[in-house]
Amino acid sequence: MKMPISEIIDRYTITKLKSERTNEDVAEELNFYKKELDGYKVNLDNYIELMYNINGKIWDTEGDIRKGTDLPLEEIGRLALKVRDLNCERNSIKADIVDRFSEGFKEIKINYKKINYGRN
């Protein structure tokens, strides 16, 4: 099954971040995604840049959570909410790509609203 372009761009940018920010050798994986991207005869640079930036922000925020063992729970919660919001942005970018190329699927989320059913 062919991977949708939105997923290829997402995985490519995450792998690119991993290659830049860790010592892990991901050259083969990075080359695979790059080859897939090169198969599209349109300029994908804008989508790649948008996805790279948002995935970088998510990477940084999740890193702050991991190293924040001494942080108060309120701060960890704030960072977790930030990751949630960044993921919404990420899903929006992926949805734009799905619309543009008519392949893949959109992730549809409905905001949860807590209702107090008579409990105090």
Report residue 53 as tokens.
């930036």
Domain positions in the chain = 5-101
pLDDT, greater one: 118 or 55: 55
Mean pLDDT score of the chain: 87
Q: Burial code of 19-52, b = ≥16 C-beta within 10 A, e = fewer?
A: eeeeeeebeebbeebeebbeeeeeebeebbebbb
Residue 96 makes CB contacts below 8 A (sequence gap 6+) with 47
pLDDT at residue 109 in the model: 52
pLDDT at residue 117 in the model: 47
pTM of the entire structure? 0.82
pLDDT tens per residue, range 55-114: 999 999 999 988 877 888 899 899 999 999 999 999 999 999 999 998 766 555 555 454
Q: Which of 61, 98, 105, 106 is nearest to 83 (CA)?
A: 61
